[in-house]
Amino acid sequence: MALSVEHFGRTYAAATGTFTAVADLSFTVAAGEIVGLIGPNGAGKTTTLRSLAGILRPTSGRVRIDGHDIIEDPLEAKRRLAFMPDEPHLFEYLTVTEHLHLIARLYGVPDVDARAAALVEELELKGKERSLPGELSRGMRQKVVIACGLVRDATTLLFDEPLTGLDPIGIRRMRHTIVTRARGGAAILLSSHLLHLVEEVCSRVIIMDRGQKVADGTFAELASRADLATAGSSLEQIFLRVTGHDTAGSAS
Amino acid sequence: MLSASLYIIICSARNRIRVRLRRLREPRYLIGAIVGAAYIYFSFFARFRATGRSARRRPRTSDFPESMAALFALLPQLSGVALLVVAAAAWVTPVDSGLLEFSDPELQFLFPAPVSRRQLLIHRMLRSQLGILFGALVIGAVSPSTLGVSRLRLSIGAWLLMVTGKIYFTGVTLARARLGAAGARTRRVAWLPLGVLLLALAVVAGAIAGEWQKAPPTGPMEGLLLIGRASQSPAAYIVLLPFVALAQPLFSDWPLPYLMALGWALVVMCGIGAWVLLSDEAFQEAASDVAERRSQEPATKKGEPSYRVRSDGWPLAPLGRPEMAFAWKAAMQTLRMVDRSTLTRTAIILFFLTIASATMGRANGLASMLAAFSFAGTGFAIVIAPQVLRIDMRQDLRHLDLLKTWPIKASTLVRGELIWPGVIITAAAWAMLTIATLLSATMLTNVSVGWRIGGGAALAILAPAMVFSQLTIHNAVALVFPAWVPLGNQRPRGLDAMGQRLIMLGGTWLLLTISLIPGAIAGGIIWLALQRFIGTGAALVPAALVCSAIVGLEVLLATEAIGPAYERLDALAVERPE
């Protein structure tokens, strides 16, 4: 498995004691698979993704990227991983091209110029190569973050709300980009509130609520589950049902 | 709008106090608050009490030098001249009051609201009062007076002066933007205050020149007395009236002279306030400019430096050691922050400082002054610059979310972060040291050439070791105690934050001292062993080499030892702005 998560948990210190953001989460993502990670606000999606990327330390459990543990063997695990966060985080003093060159240098990408040119074209960053992040719109900065993630051959891609700030053309392109990378053999975990996007590109979905995994399976599997059968087959209806917000369904 | 402004100010202040009190539950803030309070007490109040007691024991100013007494009598006039110079300088230097720097929420909520621009300006003036009041209270608190009432009087005077300054600088910003306006009337109105100010400056300069011709001063004290005398000539006295009126409450006796002075200062403040508020049209344009600029710079936050791409810079080679990629990154940051005009301004300031100090102490000559200046610069570069220049992990903690995803060893990352600041600080120290050593004969007349050259060479060898060891300590502290390190350019406020900074400073100095001990001992032994054979001055060089090698080794070992701390470092441990 490209990405394997076993009994992952993360707690935070809070003023009133400790707060469990994620508890006992286990799942896998195979090469070429696109898995959607959805849940209401505060469900623990971003905490999960940031922990998988090595930004936060898991309180319990194991995370492996291509068999490399993110805690015990972080360099090898991170070499195979690309994380595209929802909030574009860039060095305010480096241009778009310089960001790509820096990432290429750190990851040992040999043909950076050709790759950078192709990504600039693919993500419609043409003409912005010499711009600093402060001169770019939020959508453009998001594209730069994604370009930095794609400039190397990562086997596991983590997307946190990848469409935030993008225009309709950008959204269409991004969908295409994600699907193309999966077809190329990458394992993709995608977190989004845009359920139609998840429904369209993901082959499987994991639903989280209050730090717990409450559903995991393909759309057909979820739709055929006995407790969800009456909810209908759309992801939105399934989501509302499993998170306890489908008041009409609950009543029936 | 006034009630809305007051509501915003009161709510913001109340919430800020709540946040600061609530965070005292955390030990690091509580310890910081205790240390900060102790520092304030022992630095100011305890010292003043001691000063007060000794003052009571001493006979009063009977043996005060006559020239000093004359100078004290002229202080209001001298302050008036200084204020005139500052007021004039505000037109040529990019001094900004900050009153036009609206925050993002102000832009979002107040600009679209049915509020006139004049009301917005009043809101900004009210908003700035808390900071000014605090500053004025600090001035009163640190004044060497034994009576609480005198401190309060001084605080009120300082508050009036600072408020007037803030309003004046805003007026200058507004008027400066209209100096080249298309309309002749607008242009005339904008030029009028500048013209009046230049006239006042010419009158005062003329009076000083007249006094100078009569009897040129032989020292700084005489120079000040000359300016004071010149400012009392009839024409200068008249043009300086508003400036002296502003400074007068700081020096007046209670009750009648002080209250009179306060009244006149208030009149001046109201006059300047009216001038700014009548620039309503200019304020409309300036406020729109601010909104426009902010909308074009979505990522630039208040207080953060602005970066500009000026050339292709220094391209990063596709392959090579990762450390150099971090050095390149930091170099790009420096090059994009420091532009040619900044460098030119700095060079001009340094040039005039040197000339001024050489003139003031001309008995020692220009060369000796340059030597002293260079020695001071070397010391500053080696001792202070590693604390001030934060183009390393201390700044990159903000980007921890990004750094933590990179497949880079912690020791590599830390070494990479040290390279650029270490190199530029060392280069600056070497440049200053070269000048200081070359000119040292003019200053250190009793020291032999061997000691001067040997000492200079030894310091040059020790400089990089000391710089890198300090940078290593600062970066290690940032990784081990990230919550204690202010991110980027933010400056956490409050007594607790001040205490935290003091603890960090003390800890860093202690660590630096400990890290230098083995090298200093080894170097000392080498010097003792060799000084008989090659001379005391020349023996400093091998001693410095050994000391540097030991400190260098310590730096390497420390960067390796920091690794686990970085691996354990959690992005949530990093302090966020208030």
Instruction: Give B 336-375 residues with CB within 8 A of chain A.
Output: 336-337
Are residues B257 and B343 located together in one domain of the fold? no
Domain annotation covers residue B488: yes
Q: Is B408–A75 a contact, with Cβ atoms under 8 angstroms apart?
A: yes
* Neighbouring C-alpha atoms within 13 Å toward the C-beta of B519: 23
Taking CA atoms, A236 is separated from A72, A193, A246, in Å, by 38, 10, 10
Q: What is the DSSP letter of A87?
A: S
pLDDT of residue B300: 52
Give the residue from A90, A106, A109 with the most B CB atoms within 10 Å of its CB, the best one to mutate: A106
Q: What is the mean pLDDT of residues B510-531?
A: 92
Q: Say which residue, A68 or B338, is predicted with more confidence.
A: A68
Domain annotation covers residue B5: no
Domain annotation covers residue B557: yes
What secondary structure, in 3-state letters, does B504-517 show?
Answer: HHHHHHHHHHHHHH
pLDDT of residue B49: 64
Is residue B375 classed exposed, middle or buried when 0-12, 13-18 and 19+ CB atoms within 10 A define those classes?
buried
Domain annotation covers residue B311: no
Residues of A whose CB is below 8 A from B571 = 50, 55-56
Are residues B288 and B433 located together in one domain of the fold? no
pLDDT of residue A69: 93
Please give the Cα distance from A227 to A238 (Å, whole number).
Answer: 10
pLDDT of residue B28: 76
Domain annotation covers residue B28: no
Cβ contact B13:B130 at 8 Å: yes
Cβ contact A196:A172 at 8 Å: no
Structure tokens at A213: 């995994």
Are residues B288 and B334 located together in one domain of the fold? no
Q: What is the mean pLDDT of residues B516-525?
A: 94
Q: Is A98–B332 a contact, with Cβ atoms under 8 angstroms apart?
A: yes
Residues of B whose CB is below 8 A from A141 = 299
The residues, any chain, with a CB within 8 Å of residue A81's CB and separated by 6 or more, are A52, A53, A54, A65, A154, A155, A156, A157, A158, B405
Q: What is the mean pLDDT of residues A36-56?
A: 92
Q: Give the burial string for B218-233 (b: 16+ CB within 10 Å, else e).
A: eeeeebbbbbbbbbeb
Are residues B75 and B113 located together in one domain of the fold? yes
Domain count, chain B: 2
Which residues constitute the domain of residue B268? 67-296
Please give the Cα distance from B345 to B365 (Å, whole number).
Answer: 25
Domain boundaries, chain A: 3-80+154-251, 89-153
Are residues B330 and B382 located together in one domain of the fold? yes
Q: What length is written for chain A?
A: 252
Q: Say which residue, B226 or A251, is predicted with more confidence.
A: B226
CA distance B299 to chain A (A): 5
Structure tokens at B310: 């000026």
Nearest chain B residue to A75 by CA: give it: B407
Structure tokens at A223: 């739709």
Are residues B282 and B346 located together in one domain of the fold? no
Q: Is the pLDDT of residue A252 over 50?
A: no
Helix (H) or strand (E) holding B490: none
Residue type present at position B563? G
Q: What percent of chain B has pLDDT over 90?
A: 23
Phi, then psi, of B74 in degrees rounded to 5: -90, 0
Q: What is the mean pLDDT of residues B428-443?
A: 88
Q: Is the pLDDT of residue B574 over 60?
A: yes
Residue type present at position B466? M
Cβ contact A192:A235 at 8 Å: no
pLDDT of residue B363: 44
Are residues B360 and B421 located together in one domain of the fold? yes
Are residues B291 and B327 located together in one domain of the fold? no
Least confident of B62-71, B76-85, B253-262, B298-307: B298-307
Angle CA A190–A196–A202, to nearest 5: 40
Q: Is B298–A75 a contact, with Cβ atoms under 8 angstroms apart?
A: no
Q: What length is written for chain B?
A: 578
Please give the Cα distance from A188 to A185 (Å, whole number).
Answer: 9
The tens digit of pLDDT for each residue in B276-311 reads 877 766 666 666 666 666 555 544 555 566 777 766
Q: Is B407–A106 a contact, with Cβ atoms under 8 angstroms apart?
A: yes
Is residue B183 classed exposed, middle or buried when 0-12, 13-18 and 19+ CB atoms within 10 A define those classes?
exposed
Task: Kindly report the average pLDDT of chain B as a whole number.
Answer: 81
Residues of A whose CB is below 8 A from B417 = none
pLDDT of residue B527: 93
Residues of B whose CB is below 8 A from A74 = 407, 567
Are residues B211 and B78 located together in one domain of the fold? yes
Alpha-carbon radius of gyration of chain B: 28
Q: Is the pLDDT of residue B361 over 70?
A: no
The residues, any chain, with a CB within 8 Å of residue A52's CB and separated by 6 or more, are A3, A5, A63, A65, A70, A81, A83, A158, A189
pLDDT of residue B342: 67
Residue B150 zone, left/alpha/beta (φ > 0; ψ -120 to 50; rest): alpha
Domain annotation covers residue B31: no
| DSSP characters over A175-238 | HHHHHHHHHTT-EEEEE-S-HHHHHHH-SEEEEEETTEEEEEE-HHHHHHSGGGGGG-SSHHHH
- CA nearest to B203, candidates B240, B172, B175: B240
Are residues B260 and B351 located together in one domain of the fold? no
Place of tokens 């980009």: A177
- CA nearest to B192, candidates B184, B453, A178: B184
The tens digit of pLDDT for each residue in B77-129 reads 899 999 999 888 888 776 666 777 777 777 777 777 777 777 787 888 888 88
Q: What is the largest CA-CA distance in chain A?
A: 60
Q: Say which residue, B214 or B313, is predicted with more confidence.
A: B214
Structure tokens at B251: 């020096």
Domain annotation covers residue B517: yes
Which fold, A3-80+154-251?
Rossmann fold (3.40.50)
Q: Name the band, by pLDDT with cuts 50, 70 and 90, for residue A182.
A: very high
Residue type present at position A106? L
Beta bridge partners of A35: A189, A204
pLDDT of residue A154: 92
Phi, then psi, of A159 in degrees rounded to 5: -110, 125
Residues of A whose CB is below 8 A from B409 = 75
End-to-end CA distance of chain B, in Å?
A: 26
Domain annotation covers residue B257: yes
Please give the Cα distance from A141 to B509 (Å, whole number).
Answer: 41
